[in-house]
Amino acid sequence: MDIEDIRLFLLMDENQHANHWQNVWLMGYPLSQSVVLCQHTPIEERISQIQMGFEQCGDAVMVVAHGFACNAWAEWLFQSGVDLQKRISGVILAEPDLNAWSDDDNAPINRARANFPVAWVMPNQTHINYPKSKNHAQRLGAKHLIFPKYHTLNAPLNGWQWGMSLMQDILL
């Protein structure tokens, strides 16, 4: 599989602003697909939206989700089959919504497991519960990372170059 054949699948939180780094990626990456997700939509509908978008992505997919979309992706992952998961080359979960992430061990979101590289990226902010974040990342099988440069991933990042570098590291 050549890295140039990988489809970038962006899962976006409906609350993102127009200059969000994911929009920059969507416009700049040659093979991309996106889905906008709403936290207030029923789980089944969110899973269906992700599934429909994923089906259009081809055989090699790099998933990049932000905010609540990270949570929705984990819900989808738990429901997806092994054949679909084999198409995933890597995942970046940028700033998952910890408030919406269930603490119930039996919740589908906590039972999802990744058998491919996943980076769980949190901003460098004092109010974030890092032990909780790290625990959820470990359950999923993700590498827990703290974004080193700014206190938020929504700062004016010129397309979030650090994230692009992280994506290349995952794919290579």
Domains of the chain by range and CATH? 3-171 (3.40.50.1820)
Q: Among 3-12, 15-24, 112-121, 157-166, which is the least confidently predicted range?
A: 157-166
The pLDDT value recorded for residue 103 is: 80
- Asked whether the predicted pLDDT for residue 91 surpasses 70, the reply is yes
Give CA–CA dist 61/87, Å, rounded.
Answer: 6
Average confidence (pLDDT) over 66-86: 94
Residue with tokens 């902010």: 125
- 12 has which bridge partners? 36
Helix (H) or strand (E) holding 165: helix 161-171
Would you call 147 exposed, middle or buried from its count of C-beta atoms within 10 A (0-12, 13-18, 19+)?
buried
Asked whether the beta carbons of 7 and 61 are under 8 A apart, the reply is yes
* Percentage of the chain modeled with pLDDT above 70: 92
User: What is the tens place of the pLDDT at every residue in 41-55?
Assistant: 999 999 999 999 999
The pLDDT value recorded for residue 137 is: 96
Kindly indicate the confidence band of residue 168, based on its pLDDT and cuts at 50, 70 and 90: confident
